[in-house]
Structure 1
Amino acid sequence: NPGPTAAPPGYGTVRDPQGFALAVPDGFTRAYEKPRVYYYSAGKRFRLGIRVRPPQPGGPLAMLREAHRTGPRSYPGYRDGRVTATYHQGHPAALWEFTWDGGAGGGGPRHTYDMSWAEGGRTYDVWISAPVADRAEAKRHFDTALATFQVLRTPATG
């Protein structure tokens, strides 16, 4: 079944004003930091982000390969980066995974999982960043967000 699944225990489904729904862990709070939507845990230990944009040249794989190429400029201490072609709910997608040193007040090195795919004339990008020690929990939150993600309407982009 390529469609979204229901939120598991410990998660709640949110219908975001930006035109999508997904399950986020209980207690996470929403912040709109244009052009991205974030759902943060207390203290921003876990940072789940979503961005919706017009189709990108070369599609999701080219977009994330370019992000990987410029990773060292964007993420201090960028390392262990890799981009893999995949599918998300039947749509061509790319997965980007990396570790970096974390920003000021970020609690040290962080690990990021990022999935991008094209659907309905838009590019969707969903990622999570968490302290390296919380990588397994972050992956569970990331996988749950992706498994439950649903486009509700064609959003405005920006």
Structure 2
Amino acid sequence: MAVTRSRYRSASSAGTLVAFLLVLIFGSPWYVDWVNSGNRGLFLETLAWPQWNIDSDQSVRELLAADLKAILLILFTAVFISLLVGAQLSSARGTISAILTGWAAFIFAAALAALLTAFLLANTSFGTAVVNAAGGAGYGLIVGWIVGIASMAGRRT
């Protein structure tokens, strides 16, 4: 039983590490500026969604919301992968199941992070928060397969 538990812990740590790297690299101000400077395509533009910022030209509220969204995405990814990988103790423990587990966890994490941080912005309604959550879910759908593959690889170690 201890071996199984450690393998599932490594799945969540591998997925969380990849989520952290995605946010750190592709959410950086330098990458976001590069993407915004031209038409880079859907995938490269979507990678820049959970952007964190250190720019002092924005309001404190906007900076806090953007940075908190990036942090919550990583934390919620760890929580959801841990919860969903535990469900793999059932009969569905294959490679496809592991990829879909990490992918789904990332979709849920991005949507929830966007939903919660939307309320930090000025003049936010519940409808605006739901639209932000849909944008986060879209990000998770397009990028989440990377986290899914990482959590599958972590599960095997």
Q: With the length of structure 2 as denominator, give the TM-score of the two structures.
A: 0.31
For normalisation by structure 1, the TM-score amounts to 0.31
Q: Relative contact order: is structure 1 or structure 2 higher (C-alpha 8 Å, sep ≥ 6)?
A: 2
